[in-house]
């Protein structure tokens, strides 16, 4: 949790917590169960938004109409648009625009912008990156120091490899790309429009528009290798 968020929480006792919840409800915010809900003094939640139990909204966070926060979400200095759902989410000093479907178990870190109608699924982390409209990053993926275009699809287990141990570099993924499962994009690198990467590839060179990049060893099958090496556990 952000240190400033922790400091703000130290100032919230039970009376203040209930007072801020009451103010939000009177404005038209829907809070069907107040268990674990904390709303900071400077947070602005629009009428019609739904805040579910275990959700904490702090700092100068704003939440648009008809958005759903929670359950179990933490926002600090976040700007959240309309009709967006954040489920089991943590975000700090970033923006999520309208119509997004985020979570569960997503972390959006500072200086990130998630544009309209983006899907970020379970166990996705975004840091210092822009993800453009209608892009899907469904599961188990890290997008760091990157500029991702529209209508991009990331398969499971992808990583933007942004750090050498000394310096960080950016990755660019242009519109309509398809990033295959278990792809490593080693920055600095660009995947051109409609570019594809084959599953299991480690991409170290730019991918031209409309190209398929394959960067993996060719499969070799060792026939009867197991029979020669047995017995293993469970084998006679």
Active-site amino acid positions: 139
What is the SS3 assignment for 121?
A: coil
Per DSSP, the residues of 33-55 read --TT-EE-TT-EE-TT-EE-TT-
Q: Are 152 and 179 in contact (CB under 8 A)?
A: yes
Residue 127, Cβ neighbours under 10 Å: how many?
A: 19
Alpha helices in the chain (DSSP H): 3-9, 14-26, 225-229
CA end-to-end span of the chain: 53
């Amino acid at each position: 949790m952000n240190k400033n968020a922790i400091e703000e929480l130290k100032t919230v006792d039970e009376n203040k917590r209930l007072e801020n919840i009451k103010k939000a409800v009177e404005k038209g915010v829907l809070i069907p169960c107040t268990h674990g809900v904390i709303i900071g003094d400077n947070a602005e939640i629009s009428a019609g938004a739904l805040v579910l139990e275990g959700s904490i909204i702090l700092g100068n966070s704003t939440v648009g109409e008809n958005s759903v926060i929670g359950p179990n979400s933490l926002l600090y200095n976040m700007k959240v648009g309309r009709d967006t759902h954040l489920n089991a989410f943590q975000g700090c000093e970033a923006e999520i625009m309208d119509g997004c479907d985020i979570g569960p178990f997503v972390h959006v870190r500072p200086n990130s912008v998630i544009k309209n109608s983006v899907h970020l699924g379970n166990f996705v982390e975004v840091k210092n990156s822009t993800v453009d409209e209608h892009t899907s990053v469904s599961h188990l993926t890290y997008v760091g120091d990157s500029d991702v275009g529209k209508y991009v699809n990331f398969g499971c287990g992808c990583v933007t490899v942004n750090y050498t141990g000394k310096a960080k570099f950016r990755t660019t993924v242009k519109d309509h790309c398809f990033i295959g499962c278990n792809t490593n994009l080693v920055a600095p690198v660009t995947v051109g429009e409609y570019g594809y990467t084959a599953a299991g590839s480690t991409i170290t060179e730019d991918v031209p528009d409309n190209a398929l990049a394959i960067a993996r060893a060719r499969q070799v099958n060792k026939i009867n290798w197991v029979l020669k090496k047995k017995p293993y556990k469970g084998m006679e």
